[in-house]
């Protein structure tokens, strides 16, 4: 189908606000050509070699239109909507003055990006963001190539001038959130901004809050899913992570594995994560409350077993718990800081020797070792590291409450934690919104419709 001249104007108007859109006009004598493309989704070297250089080649100049029409990368669009989707997907619109042609010069950056190491999944894409800003925008556009996807570029840092890209769906993103994000970027006064975690602190609602307000992810598929939900993705040059705004508590406990598994399995895994967080927060405090204040809540046999294990321990239960939890924190930090070749081996051996020696010496009870290991494993279930760190800190507050007032203190501490969460907002959205509208299974399908499929075919 021919591409109409007014469609070219519609393409320019649709992508005009996106700063990675290029309109290029070239002249040679009395002839001229015009190129319309999205820079971050096309292979610019192929465009230069196949379309621009031949235009200035004397041997081809006279037959340039016939030459262009014979290229094997020709594509077609039967409707304006399809044309807009193809331009967003990495196609180039060429106006020779007598005809308008469409070419497929999509970039293929997946071969150059690294594998995800922080947010791993069993089934699903393995690649992650890179440290190149344009390549990261390309990864997003190739996963969600709707014409409404818009890119705004800014800089952060008065001296570093680090490039930042805000990617959003102009049809779904909240303008208030977008304008607030831009305002916060503009008011950054730090001389050097060089990491996405640093940017998250500068853009967050509070630098002193315990829980994160912005989600940091390394996965392009998670970022594309958030785009389809109307959220804003912030990318930074030189860091292989992306920020998502706004966020809710649910976002930090969800994994991309949830949409790659069937409904029953994904819900089971989701419930398991919330249960693990509850165990991590309350188990040490409950142990102290039971042993020091309320042993009557347990069966007699279990209470006697715990008392027998603690018979040789020379100090109170809260001190026993605190010492072992601090020891576990040290082991976790050591495993992160040590070189990968020796980190896991050193911390595993150290943990085994430390736990066994402390138990045999009568410094801690054997049940305390089980509790500390359970708490550590439960904390590792949280998919997002920022939330995992917050939970590691929050459990000490509940431990202090239980140490002072027993089970009553544990209940009061847990109620205080929930009350604190209700006061948190992320760009005007309540943070304690446990569940999004359950369209996570629908959104990826909607992204596939851009490939020319109907909703029924995409399902």
If one counts every other C-beta atom within 10 angstroms of the C-beta of residue 453, the result is 12
Q: How far apart are CA 37 and CA 46, in angstroms?
A: 13
Question: What residues contact 113, with CB distance under 8 A and at least 6 apart?
Answer: 127, 128, 129, 130, 135, 139
Judge whether residue 106 has pLDDT over 60: yes
> Which pLDDT tens digit goes with each residue over 9-24?
888 888 888 888 999 8
Give the global pTM: 0.79
| Residue 440: predicted pLDDT | 39
DSSP code at position 4: P
Average pLDDT over the chain, rounded to an integer = 83
| Residue 457: predicted pLDDT | 43
| Residue 232: predicted pLDDT | 94
Beta strand spans in 207-318 (E): 215-217, 232-236, 242-245
| Residue 458: predicted pLDDT | 40
More confident residue, 294 or 158: 158
> Which pLDDT tens digit goes with each residue over 416-441?
999 999 888 888 888 887 655 444 34
Range 362-378 average pLDDT: 83
Lowest mean pLDDT among 93-107, 243-257, 342-356: 342-356
High-pLDDT (> 70) share of the chain, %: 87
| Residue 348: predicted pLDDT | 67
| Residue 127: predicted pLDDT | 85
| Residue 447: predicted pLDDT | 36
If one counts every other C-beta atom within 10 angstroms of the C-beta of residue 346, the result is 15
Taking the CA atoms of the chain, what radius of gyration do you get in angstroms? 28
> What share of residues in the chain are helix, strand, coil (percent, to 5)?
55, 15, 30
Lowest mean pLDDT among 191-195, 360-364, 370-374: 360-364
| Winning range, highest mean pLDDT, from 243-247, 348-352, 452-456 | 243-247
Beta strand spans in 359-402 (E): none
| Residue 344: predicted pLDDT | 65
Judge whether residue 236 has pLDDT over 60: yes
What does each C-alpha distance from 369 to 7, 129, 310, 376 come to in angstroms? Answer: 69, 39, 12, 11
Residue labelled with tokens 């075919």: 457
Judge whether residue 224 has pLDDT over 80: yes
Dihedral sign, Cα of residue 134, residue 140, residue 146, residue 149: negative
Q: How far apart are CA 255 and CA 266, in angstroms?
A: 9
What does each C-alpha distance from 209 to 28, 99, 213, 429 come to in angstroms? Answer: 61, 59, 9, 16
User: Given phi > 0 = left and psi -120 to 50 = alpha, else beta, which region is 326?
Assistant: alpha
More confident residue, 397 or 353: 397
Lowest mean pLDDT among 149-163, 222-236, 445-459: 445-459
| Residue 399: predicted pLDDT | 92
Q: Which long-range contacts (CB under 8 A, 24 or more apart) does 309-316 make?
A: 309/365, 309/366, 309/367, 310/365, 310/367, 312/362, 313/362, 313/363, 313/364, 313/365, 314/362, 314/363, 316/292
Lowest mean pLDDT among 57-61, 72-76, 107-111: 107-111
Q: Is 217 helix (H, G, I), strand (E, B) or coil?
A: strand
Range 197-220 average pLDDT: 85
> Which pLDDT tens digit goes with each residue over 303-323?
777 776 676 777 788 888 888
Judge whether residue 400 has pLDDT over 90: yes
Q: How far apart are CA 329 and CA 373, in angstroms?
A: 11
The three state secondary structure string of 52-86 is HHHHCCHHHHCCHHHHHHCCCCEECCCCHHHHHHH
Range 95-99 average pLDDT: 85
Question: What residues contact 52, with CB distance under 8 A and at least 6 apart?
Answer: 26, 35
DSSP code at position 186: H
If one counts every other C-beta atom within 10 angstroms of the C-beta of residue 306, the result is 19
Lowest mean pLDDT among 231-245, 267-281, 337-351, 444-458: 444-458
Judge whether residue 3 has pLDDT over 80: no
Task: Give me the phi and psi of 417, to 5 degrees please.
Answer: -65, -45
């Amino acid at each position: 189908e021919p591409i109409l001249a007014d469609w070219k104007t519609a393409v320019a108007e649709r992508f005009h606000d996106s700063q990675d859109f290029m309109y290029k006009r070239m002249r040679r004598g009395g002839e001229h050509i015009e190129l319309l493309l999205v820079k971050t989704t096309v292979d610019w070297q192929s465009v230069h070699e196949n379309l621009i250089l031949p235009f200035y080649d004397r041997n081809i100049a006279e037959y340039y239109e016939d030459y262009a029409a014979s290229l094997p990368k020709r594509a077609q669009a039967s409707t304006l909507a399809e044309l807009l989707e193809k331009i967003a997907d990495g196609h180039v619109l060429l106006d020779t003055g007598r005809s308008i042609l469409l070419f497929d010069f999509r970039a293929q950056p997946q071969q150059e990006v690294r594998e995800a190491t922080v947010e791993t999944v069993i089934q699903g894409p393995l690649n992650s963001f890179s440290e190149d800003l344009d390549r990261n925008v390309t990864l997003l556009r190739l996963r969600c190539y709707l014409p409404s996807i818009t890119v705004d570029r800014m800089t952060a840092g008065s001296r570093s001038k680090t490039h930042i890209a805000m990617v959003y769906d102009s049809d779904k993103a909240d303008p208030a959130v977008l304008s607030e994000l831009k305002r916060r970027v503009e008011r950054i006064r730090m001389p050097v901004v060089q990491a996405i975690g640093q940017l998250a602190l500068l853009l967050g609602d509070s630098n002193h809050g315990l829980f994160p307000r912005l989600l940091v992810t390394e996965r392009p598929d998670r970022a594309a899913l958030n785009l389809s939900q109307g959220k804003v993705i912030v990318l930074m040059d030189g860091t292989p992570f992306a920020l998502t705004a706004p966020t809710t508590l649910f976002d930090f406990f969800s994994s991309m594995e949830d949409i790659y598994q069937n409904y029953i399995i994904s819900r089971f895994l989701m419930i398991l994560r919330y249960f693990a967080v509850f165990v991590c927060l309350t188990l040490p405090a409950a142990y102290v409350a039971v042993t020091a204040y309320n042993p009557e809540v347990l069966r007699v046999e279990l209470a006697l077993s715990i008392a027998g294990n603690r018979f040789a321990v020379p100090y109170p239960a809260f001190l026993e718990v605190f010492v072992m939890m601090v020891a576990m924190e040290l082991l976790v930090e050591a495993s992160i800081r040590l070189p990968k070749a020796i980190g896991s081996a050193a911390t595993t051996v150290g943990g085994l020797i430390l736990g066994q020696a402390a138990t045999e010496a009568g410094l801690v009870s054997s049940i305390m070792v089980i509790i500390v290991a359970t708490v550590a494993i439960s904390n590792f279930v949280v998919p997002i590291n920022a939330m995992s760190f917050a939970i590691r800190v929050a459990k000490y507050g509940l431990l202090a409450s239980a140490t002072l007032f027993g089970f009553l203190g544990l209940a009061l501490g847990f109620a205080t934690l929930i009350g604190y969460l209700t006061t948190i907002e992320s760009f005007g959205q309540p943070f304690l919104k446990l569940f999004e509208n359950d369209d996570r299974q629908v959104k990826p399908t909607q992204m596939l419709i851009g490939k020319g499929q109907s909703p029924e075919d995409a399902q």
